[in-house]
Structure 1
């Protein structure tokens, strides 16, 4: 039934500010934007990684329900080669620690942060991901 990750959607009250932050984090500009009036953005989308997965940022007013008071819920982990380095870089760019790096078993290390817009962002070293790329 589930065939693969298509788009990860995050929400932000200021999409333009979130887009600037993620542009700095990712090192790429969004490839798609949808304006909301003349001064605001309703949506931006990045393509990233080995499979060009989509990361979208949506204006919070279009969220399907109220945003929670505290970050939580599902955590999407993006593969990185150096979890500790990625975690520290995210903190240096204004994110706050959600879960410090922890080894989950041989070849699997996770960490997560809360971005400046209240979204949880996970990073993970995942040997299975690398094995799949090599096939």
Structure 2
């Protein structure tokens, strides 16, 4: 296989219905307070893993957790997975600080994500 290597799953986002309550549950689970906390997103960074809480599934309309693989070239990886049969759901967009994110579905409709940092 040629293409860009995947650096692994480092981010998992979870849709939640009650952000304050979910924040307390995940803080208890992880043993730390969140590093990012706002009304539209709460994020925990623990041992190289980022766990995000997204109220009501956010603008993406998430209905289940989504794992995000970190890659050096998001457009190349999107091209590679679509050539293999995946379908782009949300094309790459900057979510701040030069971080690009995209989602796609596999052949069974599972939503998967990609992240490219600067």
TM-score bracket relative to the smaller structure: 0.3 to 0.5
Q: TM-score, structure 2 length as denominator?
A: 0.45
Q: TM-score, structure 1 length as denominator?
A: 0.40
* Larger Rg computed on CA atoms: 1
Which structure carries more helix by proportion? 1
